[in-house]
Homo-oligomer: A and B are copies of this chain.
């Protein structure tokens, strides 16, 4: 079994990293939305933007799950997506960092 205990220090690191990644992804999404909206040329573009937002919303809901039992997977996905760096997770115990690193390799 894995160590799913999170010390107070680890929780602070995790929360900060999670919030930073989410904030970055939201900023990028807002920028994409503004660009798509600016480039609306015909009615189809409006509904494409709607479809795009539906997919993104589903993606955000699935990805941003702050449960300690899921965080290792969440962090691996955020790093893989470019929203977080492994360096920002410094402070988590070695076991968790190794599991995250492993998930990034597979």
Q: Which residues of the other chain, B, contact A26 by a CB distance below 8 angstroms? A: 42-43, 46
A57 CB → nearest B CB, Å: 6
Chain A interface secondary structure, helix, strand, loop or mixed?
helix
Task: Give the size category of A's interface with B.
Answer: 20 to 34
In the complex, whether A99 has a CB less than 8 A from a CB of chain B is no
Chain A 43-78 interface residues, beta-carbon cutoff 8 Å to B? 43, 45-47, 49-50, 53-54, 56-57
Please pick, from B22, B37, B56, B57, the residue contacting A33 in the complex, using a CB distance under 8 A.
B37
8 other contacts beyond A33-B37, A50-B57, with CB at 8 A cut-off?
A26-B42, A26-B46, A30-B46, A34-B38, A34-B40, A37-B38, A53-B53, A54-B54
